[in-house]
Chains A and B, each alone.
Chain A
């Protein structure tokens, strides 16, 4: 079975500072990995995904993530955050199946 751990439930950061949201997964088979963003009172929107190939994945809104197979991690990064990045971020894994397993989410709060 697969599982996803998001180590930080909340991450406060000042505007224009860099940020990293951590995600670790466990799986006995190869996986697809995703980061979704949820703005207040909205559904989830895909930020980026790793399916295969280059381990550095670039997504929307200046976010990127790096797949590290040896550390079973898929951390999300942004070099300079904006107030509008305040949202809940979810890491998810699919083990070559049609079902996603979601982490519990990380609340990113950007302060001016």
Chain B
């Protein structure tokens, strides 16, 4: 049982490039989340999904896109990378109807130069 896995661990992008951050979970949790963490700012919710085929915007969705075709996977897409997207990105899951405890992946550190 791997829990929540994220790839890659680190990435450097040039301005204007695109990439996909991968998130996979094997806990059969229906809710999944993407956060970004900036120093001194806590975690900000980018997008979330309550189940396959359903996604919704969080607090800071601009510049990102998501899809949820399966229960296990919730990729985050950056289409035109900007320096403001330099951050650490975390994926998390919960089991709906449970105790709202979120399980976090190890994170992806992204630098845009």
Contacts and interface: CB of A to CB of B under 8 A. Distances in A.
A26 B19 CA distance: 37
B107 A98 contact: no
Interface stretch (A12-20, A38-46, A61-69): A38-46
A51 B99 contact: yes
Interface residues of B, number: 23
B42 interface: yes
B40 A104 contact: yes
B101 A42 contact: no
Given A43-B90, A104-B41, A99 B106 contact: no
Given A43-B90, A98-B50, A98-B94, A104 B104 contact: no
Interface string A89-112: 010001000111011110000000
A42 B106 CA distance: 5
Interface in B1-55: 4, 31, 33, 40-43, 45, 48, 50
Contact of A90 (B31, B40, B43, B96): B43
B32 to A, nearest CB: 10
Interface residues of A, number: 21
Nearest to B4: A43
Contact of A98 (B40, B42, B100): B100
B58 interface: yes
Contacts of B94: 98
Interface in B48-95: 48, 50, 58, 90, 92, 94
Contact of A43 (B50, B100, B104): B104
Contacts of B58: 99
A94 B41 contact: no
Contacts of A49: 99-101
Contacts of B48: 98-99
Contact of B42 (A46, A94, A102): A102
Interface of A: 9, 32, 34, 36, 41-46, 49, 51, 90, 94, 98-100, 102-105
